[in-house]
Amino acid sequence: MIIERTRWVTVQDTRLTRLTEGKLVRIIVRKQPLAFVRMQGALRAMLDQCPHQGNPLSGGWVEDCHVVCPFHRFHYDPITGKSKHGSTANVPVYAVEETADGVRVGFPYTSISVFGYKLW
């Protein structure tokens, strides 16, 4: 049986607790560059790479609830990762949990289980 799971990783960066509404910050988590944005009071995380040409999204801004790539002005939804105009591929997004202990990011992974034994 194939099982979809989430591996939670704690992010040890104080900039996240001070991140204000509509601002972006780039943080490397598990060797992945992530762009964090606080939007409508919630912290969101997306891969800090525009699928159009690979440029970082963290240098951009927020407009109409979308993160705007600073190079070619493509708009991406930080909740779904979808391009606003459908003009390019989507950006991978990651689940974020904010607790009193800090911030955790969820990385999806797939495992295989046979008769209750996790093989992978």
Per-residue pLDDT of the chain (120 residues; tens, 9 = 90+): 777 889 999 999 999 989 999 999 999 999 999 999 999 999 999 999 999 889 999 999 999 999 999 999 999 999 999 998 877 789 999 999 998 888 999 999 887 777 776 766
State how many domains the chain has.
1
Q: CA of 75: how far to CAs of 64, 66, 70, 95, 105, in Å?
A: 9, 6, 10, 20, 22
- Range(s) of the domain holding residue 79: 12-96
Which contacts (CB < 8 Å, 24+ apart) does range 46-53 have?
46/76, 46/78, 46/81, 46/91, 46/92, 46/93, 46/94, 47/91, 47/92, 47/93, 47/94, 49/91, 50/74, 50/76, 50/88, 50/91, 51/83, 51/88, 51/89, 51/90, 51/91, 52/88, 52/89
Is residue 103 one of the residues assigned to a domain? no
d(CA 112, CA 12): 30
d(CA 51, CA 110): 23
Is residue 117 one of the residues assigned to a domain? no
CATH of the domain at 74: 2.102.10.10
What's residue 30's pLDDT?
93
What's residue 111's pLDDT?
78
Q: CA of 54: how far to CAs of 23, 43, 91, 118, in Å?
A: 20, 23, 11, 35
Is residue 43 one of the residues assigned to a domain? yes
What's residue 107's pLDDT?
94
Q: What is the pTM of this model?
A: 0.88
What's residue 120's pLDDT?
61
